[in-house]
Structure 1
């Protein structure tokens, strides 16, 4: 009888609800090269740092990865000493710390690709994004200190520039999208009465437009219950470096301007058949881009 009473008593006690313990934060770690470059020769050194944008300056442990494999390293700075070819790969990191409610991790960083080259020549390319109109700087780096007599720069296997003498640097000014491609360099030198000539591994160079061509989206479903309205949304990619000047947007129907310019990339207009388009403009950079016209409803003509 006592056992039955105890069971009934316990069954009516309030149940303790254990809240879900967060296992990750909104922080995303980042990897930066603090010593060396993304392309190094075998035997050289490289240091990578894991940065966690924690405004509260909490104490973190660090997890390092090459590809999907976790490395046996837990420090803030990952050191590659006397690097070998097998250490080439995409490196990323993640923060981890223990709290009273359990282990919490940051989001893993975007990967930083490292190339360890066993050859004699490396073409160093800029590590930051290249925009149309920029100067593209290259360094044709040679293992050792051989007296170079000539260097040649190639794009997609075609000769772009030739330099005589000991200079190992190339500069391409005011680049366009046509300058994008796979770049390599060749260095030639004389040693012990013999001419040596070595070409580097090809390296991709991507060039971005400051302002891409807009794409107009016509959204009739995102206007909630206002069935007489449509949303015009002007999608584009803006790659200007900070501090980037503002973009102005203009919207048109049948080539007629729909109101003044706006800093927002969308407007709500009365629903009506026609050909719609948008125009983006960066006044300080004197850049203008038009979208392709897009029809809504039953329209005739272009």
Structure 2
């Protein structure tokens, strides 16, 4: 209790110095430094929620000083302190109303606005991604999607960064079983990578864009096998994707180049096994495909096999 009183008295002492007095202008810069020092001390004493409040007070001082970078930095530190307090409470299974998480989200949002107002778009986008990743860790995928989407929009002039953010949107949608939504995002990513990643000489995507196209292609094919849209309902762009796996493909086919021949042939076999409802073949292919697929893709393939094992209308 004495410790709490000591913290409160120090906080009040700094606050009192900043009050306007007749013919005396408060030293806001000094107040900001003292709040920062108090926040650092509280962080070292493992009192992150109190440190967060001090960082907020520091941010107000920096705002008064019209120091936007300092304000954004203090707000970001406040967000991380509140988040630390939330994670600590969760580790203890402490019942609460997620008040520290709410404070952290508000601080992140305020810092993002400050960066945007000062044309620091890349910094704003990085905080959107940071907040999105935090929410994913806390199993709040729906909330995370909005922040990943905003990061993608902010980075529209930086294609690779935009694609990375969109990929996080697609992963969040897979986690929430919104497979059609994820398929739509991955299709958007494929078009963007084709359009923005071409070399000046050949016009075909190169480098990192090929890696992104490969991940999009594999996930899209697996999602289509899971969703099994009817010929009447399948979108033209999705029908075009599946057509590549229904016929013999020449070696100069660009899809083969960025997937690799082995992976392309395995995917082609998956499409054919699903279309012929050959469960045994699909289970054998799962073993062969495992090293090529990431966590989300392996999860989708597992769901495809489950769906084939228990078709709609049959009991489990």
- For CA contacts below 8 A with separation 6 or more, give which structure has more relative contact order: 1
Q: Give the structure with the larger strand fraction.
A: 1
TM-score, normalising length from structure 2? 0.22
Larger Rg: 1
Q: Give the structure with the larger helix fraction.
A: 2
TM-score, normalising length from structure 1? 0.23
